[in-house]
């Protein structure tokens, strides 16, 4: 090969061992490098947060809270979707309340039938809040 003698005699060419560099063939970038921008547009918001507030009437299926994770937990007559969305299971008025569980406390969202009711409801003292079409067997039937 004709270029082998260039690579074998580093004294003659000032220590260059690659014959291609001697001939001036150096590969450079052919595409201009992309710059950075300071204030780009970003992404749109996900519209999370409270959709219904306290004492607001909701119908079944109404979304009450859109959230990531469980900032609020499902209380009375409220269900949680797979993306942690809380929605109403029955018609009623929205109530927010806090319950302590030992060293920590949780925020709950529940529904009440009447506007003046408070949560959490003591079902042992006051009974169930709704019967959902069930018939009371121990009571006296109405004439």
How do the domains of the chain map onto residue ranges? 49-115
pLDDT in tens, 96-107: 999 998 999 999
Q: Which of 55-64, 103-112, 115-124, 132-141 has the lowest mean pLDDT?
A: 132-141
Is residue 82 predicted with pLDDT exceeding 90?
A: yes
Tell which residue, 130, 125, 90, has the closest CA to residue 110: 90
In terms of pTM, does the model score above 0.75? no
Q: 3-class SS at 22?
A: helix
Residue 64 banded pLDDT, cuts 50, 70, 90:
very high
CATH of domain 49-115: 2.40.50.100
CA–chain centroid gap for 104, Å, is 22
Q: Which of 42-51, 63-72, 88-97, 120-129 has the lowest mean pLDDT?
A: 120-129
- Average pLDDT over all residues of the chain: 83
């Amino acid at each position: 090969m004709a270029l082998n003698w260039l690579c074998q005699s580093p004294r003659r060419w000032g220590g260059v061992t690659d014959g291609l560099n001697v001939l001036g063939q150096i590969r450079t970038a052919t595409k201009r490098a992309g710059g950075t921008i300071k204030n780009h547009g970003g992404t749109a918001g996900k519209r999370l947060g409270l959709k219904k507030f306290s004492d607001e009437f909701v119908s079944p299926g109404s979304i009450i809270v859109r959230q990531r994770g469980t900032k609020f937990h499902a209380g009375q007559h409220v269900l949680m979707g797979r993306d942690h969305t809380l929605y109403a299971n029955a018609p009623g008025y929205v109530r927010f309340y806090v319950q302590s569980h030992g060293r920590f406390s949780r925020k709950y969202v529940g529904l009440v039938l009447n506007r003046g009711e408070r949560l959490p409801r003591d079902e042992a003292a006051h009974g169930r809040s709704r019967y959902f079409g069930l018939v009371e067997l121990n009571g006296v039937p109405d004439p």
